[in-house]
Structures are given as structure tokens and as C-alpha cells.
Amino acid sequence: MRPVYVLSGPNLSRLGTREPDVYGAETLADLAALCRETGRGLGLSVDVRQTDDEAEMISWLHEAADGRIPVVLNPAAFTHYSYALRDAIAQRTAPLVEVHISNPAAREEFRHNSVVAGVATGTIAGFGLRSYVLALQAVAELV
């Protein structure tokens, strides 16, 4: 089975309690289970990780680049301002799909800009946790 990282950024550990009207009632554990189950069906071995720490996220992206490991990435708030994250993504050696649970373009204006989209393979947003399923399907087709 092909390894894939599913990486989630700040505040996503709060899924299920954080703004459920925006992010839904499912928890990070629910998301992890969904990603692992989806991955198995696609021949992918999914490693799900979450961090609120930008440096840790960058380390994981370097690890993925060094190992030629595809990534499904929800950069969360890092999306809008982290040029360090963008630079780490630009070093990718396998597909990287940016995902968002909500549709940032339909939210506050500061969320409309993604500094990472230009170095990602593609972006999927606005489909709830299904965004991750769609991203894993895309990765499976690309590898």
C-alpha cells in the first residue's frame, strides 16, 4: 500500500466543538477513521497527523518531500499567511492536495487568499469531511 500523509493544521483538533455550524459535528478522530477507511479502499496507507505548531507542520512536509510521500493538507489558518509553509510545500516530490472543510471563498475576506494554493497540485474545499475523501481519491489517481 502506498503511504500518504493527511496533515491538519491549527485548531482542527477542536473539530466537533469548534463552530459546528461551519465545521460540522464530527471530531478529529472521526476524520482520521474516515481517511484511513477511504485510504484502505484506494490502496493507500494513511498516516493522519494534526498540529497547532507551524514548525512541526513544516518538518512533516520536509519528511514527505524526502520520502516522496503524497500529502493531503488542510493548512487551516496557515493557509492565509504562512510563507514558510508555502516554501516547504514548494519542495514537494509527490502530489499535494490542499483541502478545506468549509469554502474559504464564501467566508470572511481574510480567508479568501491562499498562499499555499499556487504550489499545491490542487485544492478541494467546501465539502465538509468529504473534502478529504475527494482529495484521497485524487491522490490515488495521481500516484
Active-site residue numbers?
23, 100
3-state secondary structure of 83: helix
Identify whether the C-beta of residue 55 lies closer than 8 Å to the C-beta of residue 29: no
Residue 80 annotated as lining a ligand binding site = yes
Residue 69 annotated as lining a ligand binding site = no
Closest by CA to 12, choosing from 79, 97, 90, is 79
- Give CA–CA dist 104/79, Å, rounded: 10
Residue 58 annotated as lining a ligand binding site = no
Residue 21 annotated as lining a ligand binding site = no
- Find the radius of gyration of the CA atoms of the chain: 14
Residue 101 annotated as lining a ligand binding site = yes
Residue 13 annotated as lining a ligand binding site = no
Q: Which residues pair with 18 in a beta bridge?
A: none
Which residues are part of a known binding site? 74, 80, 87, 101-102, 111
Which residues are part of a known binding site for substrate? 74, 80, 87, 101-102, 111
